[in-house]
């Protein structure tokens, strides 16, 4: 979907375009999902509907997932802090995880890297790592919970995102902070504004008191302890404050978009 | 005359009492569908990060195709399971059905009825009265049902519902509790279905009521 988004033409219906594109070049994951989703089989077969018809298991599940986004937003308490742990509880070694292997993880030169801030902000500018390192930082020892089910406790240090949003004059009434990353497929993920403003949501520069290593997203990761791991983007290169839902790498493939913990 | 004969015939057989009221039957089958969807999608989710390295579930018995699809199924069927289950609990307590059908359970009664079951001496003449083994299993599975939902909520919302997760000893332990509750439900299902097949009129009562 990340690739499809780049092909968008103004005035062309995004959904139709996506549908056409997936028809001609079915994405492996999408096919896997449909095949698996329809493997309950009887339900869709009995109704005589093709999975691309108006009623299908996939569309029903997508609607319920959107409903679950709303339920989770309602459950989200902006003042509830994720549990914190003593340093002794930190998981060693902290697991590396991504859709790519560690050898394929982005190798970013911290001197060239810039963090681009776009969208509904007063001060649109690109920040160097040196500038970002000067901002006040706080440390948190929290549990990272992966959508796969495993979890690990880590130590992350960085600038609370809400402080940064205030600094750049972001419109915090906007719906999302949309992050883009520097990996080969252009990982991206939307973060709802209330979660972005949560006191523990952090622009992370250090892991375990050391400069964030490549494995965990050098030079910057967005740590969101109130979200599942895939909503914690690594190798972040830009942030757009926006009212538009722009989708995300995993969100577009079927992971629940809110995915709050 | 034929209508008269029919009336007489009905009069002769009519006293057959309803064993399973309609609300029990409807909720039973909604629950059956929900629990099967939850177990099959749950097995696919389990496979993404197995708790026991030697245990994985075959793709042929899972639902969703991959983790993302399975999660969509799991978080859709959870509504069916919990809403149906909640209404069942409320009605079960309010009507006094739980009390009259499932209590009392005594250790002596369970032991003697278990012995009777294995020697083929357990009576199934009156299906409206549960024997001690049934009472224990049905009361037990209701409790397991409550625990699996609560542990599931702890895994889903370990921050927002952290008090609940803490009750289970934290996120990681809640995952194990959730898994063992699933195992108990699967074990129950095997026995439950086998016994329904052995005593077909109990299955009939759960479908047409009598």
For chain B, say whether A12 makes contact (Cβ under 8 Å). no
Between residues A29 and B110, the one the model is more confident about: B110
Residues 6+ apart with CB under 8 A from B160: A75, A76, A77, A80, A226, A260, A261
Q: Which of A230, A224, A212 is nearest to A129 (CA)?
A: A212
Would the pLDDT of A227 be above 60? yes
Least-confidence region, from A33-42, A163-172, B177-186: A33-42
User: What is the radius of gyration, based on Cα positions, of chain B?
Assistant: 21
Contact A51, A58 (CB under 8 A): yes
- Inter-chain touch B49–A33, beta carbons under 8 Å: no
Between residues A176 and A53, the one the model is more confident about: A176
For chain B, say whether A154 makes contact (Cβ under 8 Å). no
DSSP letter at A219 equals T
For chain A, say whether B70 makes contact (Cβ under 8 Å). yes
Instruction: Name the residue with tokens 């289950």.
Output: B85
Would the pLDDT of A29 be above 80? no
CA distance B82 to B78: 6
Q: What is the mean pLDDT of chain B?
A: 92
At B9 the pLDDT is: 47
The angle that helices B67-94 and B22-48 make with each other, rounded to 10 degrees, is 150
Which ipTM value was assigned to this complex?
0.89
At B72 the pLDDT is: 97
At B126 the pLDDT is: 87
Smallest Cα distance from B171 to chain A, Å: 8
Smallest Cα distance from B163 to chain A, Å: 10
**Structural domain spans, chain B:** 17-208
Which residues of chain A make contact with B157, given a CB cutoff of 8 A?
A: 75, 260-261
Q: What is the mean pLDDT of residues B193-207?
A: 94
> What would the DSSP string read from start to end of B6-62?
HHHHHHHHTTPPPSS-HHHHHHHHHHHHHHHHHHHHHHHHHHHS-SSTT----GGG-
Where do the DSSP E strands lie in chain A?
114-119, 126-128, 138-145, 151-160, 176-181, 188-192, 202-207, 210-211, 221-223, 236-242
Least-confidence region, from A73-87, B13-27, B82-96: B13-27
Would the pLDDT of B12 be above 70? no
Give A236's strand partners.
A181
Delineate the domains of chain A, giving CATH numbers in brackets: 2-75 (no CATH), 87-253 (3.90.420.10)
Q: How confident is the model at residue B106 (pLDDT cuts 50, 70, 90)?
A: very high
Where do the DSSP E strands lie in A60-149?
114-119, 126-128, 138-145
Q: Which among A32, A143, A149 has the least Cβ separation from residue B49?
A: A149
Q: What is the mean pLDDT of residues B30-47?
A: 98
Q: What is the mean pLDDT of chain A?
A: 87
Burial class (CB within 10 angstroms; exposed 0-12, middle 13-18, buried 19+) of A245: middle
Contact A133, A157 (CB under 8 A): no
What b/e string do you get for A3-33 counting C-beta neighbours within 10 Å, with b at 16 or more? Answer: ebeeeeeeeeeeeeebeeebeeeeeebbebb
SS3 A118: strand
Q: Which among A76, A254, A260 has the least Cβ separation from residue B72?
A: A254
At A109 the pLDDT is: 96
At B6 the pLDDT is: 46
Closest alpha carbon within chain B to A227:
B159
Q: What is the mean pLDDT of residues B135-161?
A: 98
DSSP letter at A199 equals T
Least-confidence region, from A6-15, A144-153, A223-232: A6-15
Q: How confident is the model at residue A239 (pLDDT cuts 50, 70, 90)?
A: very high
Which residues of chain A make contact with B46, given a CB cutoff of 8 A?
A: 149
CA distance B102 to B100: 6
At B210 the pLDDT is: 87
Which residues of chain B make contact with A75, given a CB cutoff of 8 A?
A: 157, 160
For chain A, say whether B86 makes contact (Cβ under 8 Å). no
Smallest Cα distance from A35 to chain B, Å: 7
At A26 the pLDDT is: 42
Which of A28, A29, A31, A36 would you mutate first to test chain B, the one with the most B CBs within 10 A?
A36
Which residues of chain A make contact with B159, given a CB cutoff of 8 A?
A: 80-83, 225-226, 260-261
At B43 the pLDDT is: 98
Query: In the structure, how many helices (H) and strands (E) does chain A have?
Result: 8, 10
Which of A46, A79, A254, A255 would you mutate first to test chain B, the one with the most B CBs within 10 A?
A254
At A39 the pLDDT is: 45
Between residues B117 and B56, the one the model is more confident about: B56
pLDDT tens track for A88-128: 999 999 999 999 999 999 999 999 999 999 999 999 999 99
User: Which own/partner pairs from B63-67 qualify as long-range (CB within 8 Å, at least 24 positions apart)?
Assistant: B63/A36, B63/A39, B63/A40, B63/B37, B64/A33, B64/A36, B64/A37, B64/B40, B65/A32, B65/A33, B65/A34, B65/A35, B65/A36, B65/A37, B65/A39, B66/A29, B66/A32, B66/A33, B66/A36, B67/A147, B67/A148
At A19 the pLDDT is: 53
Greatest Cα-to-Cα distance within chain A, rounded to the nearest angstrom: 62
Q: What is the mean pLDDT of residues A173-185?
A: 97
CB contacts < 8 Å between A and B, how many?
96
Q: What is the CATH architecture assignment of B17-208?
A: Up-down Bundle (1.20)
At B120 the pLDDT is: 83
Per cent of chain B over pLDDT 90 is 85
At A14 the pLDDT is: 56
Would the pLDDT of B148 be above 60? yes
For chain A, say whether B106 makes contact (Cβ under 8 Å). no
Count CB neighbours of B22 within 10 A: 9
Contact A126, A115 (CB under 8 A): yes
């Amino acid at each position: 979907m990340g690739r499809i988004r780049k092909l968008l033409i103004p005035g062309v219906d995004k959904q139709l375009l996506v549908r056409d594109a997936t028809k001609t070049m079915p994405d492996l994951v999408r096919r896997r999902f449909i095949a698996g989703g329809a493997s309950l089989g009887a339900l869709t077969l009995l109704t005589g509907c093709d999975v691309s018809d108006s009623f299908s298991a996939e569309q029903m599940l997508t609607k319920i997932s959107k409903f679950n986004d709303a339920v989770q937003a309602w459950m989200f308490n902006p003042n509830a802090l994720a549990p914190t742990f003593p340093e002794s509880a930190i998981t060693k070694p902290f697991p590396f995880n991504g859709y790519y292997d560690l050898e394929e993880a982005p190798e970013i030169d911290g001197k060239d890297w810039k963090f681009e801030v776009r969208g509904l902000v007063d001060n649109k500018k690109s920040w160097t790592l040196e500038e970002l390192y000067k901002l006040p930082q706080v440390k948190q020892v929290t549990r990272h919970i992966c959508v796969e089910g495993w979890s690990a406790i880590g130590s992350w240090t960085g600038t609370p995102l809400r402080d940064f949003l205030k600094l750049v004059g972001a419109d915090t009434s906007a719906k999302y902070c949309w992050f883009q990353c520097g990996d080969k497929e252009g990982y991206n993920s939307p973060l709802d504004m209330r979660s972005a403003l949560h006191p523990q949501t952090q622009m992370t520069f250090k892991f375990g008191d050391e400069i964030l290593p490549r494995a965990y997203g050098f030079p910057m990761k967005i740590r969101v302890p109130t979200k599942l791991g895939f909503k914690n983007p690594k190798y972040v290169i830009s942030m757009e404050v926006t009212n538009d839902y722009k989708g995300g790498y995993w969100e577009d493939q079927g992971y629940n978009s809110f995915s709050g913990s | 005359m034929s209508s008269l004969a029919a009336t007489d015939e009905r009069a002769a057989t009519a006293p057959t009492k309803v064993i399973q009221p309609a609300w029990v039957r409807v909720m039973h089958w909604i629950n059956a569908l929900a629990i099967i969807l939850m177990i099959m999608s749950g097995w696919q989710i389990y496979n993404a990060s197995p708790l026991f390295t030697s245990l994985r579930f075959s793709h042929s018995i899972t639902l969703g195709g991959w983790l993302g699809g399975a999660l969509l199924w799991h978080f859709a069927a959870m509504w069916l399971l919990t809403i149906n289950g909640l209404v069942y609990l409320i009605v079960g307590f309010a009507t006094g059905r739980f009390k009259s059908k499932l209590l009392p359970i005594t250790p002596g009664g369970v032991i003697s009825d278990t012995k009777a079951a294995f020697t083929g001496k357990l009576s199934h003449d009156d299906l409206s009265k549960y024997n001690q083994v049934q009472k224990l299993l049905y009361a037990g599975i209701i409790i397991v049902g409550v625990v699996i939902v609560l542990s599931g909520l702890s895994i889903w919302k370990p921050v927002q519902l952290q008090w609940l997760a803490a009750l289970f000893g934290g996120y990681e332990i809640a995952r194990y509790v959730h898994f063992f509750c699933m195992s108990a439900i699967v074990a129950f299902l095997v026995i439950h279905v086998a016994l329904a097949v052995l005593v077909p009129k109990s299955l009939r009562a759960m479908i047409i009521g009598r």
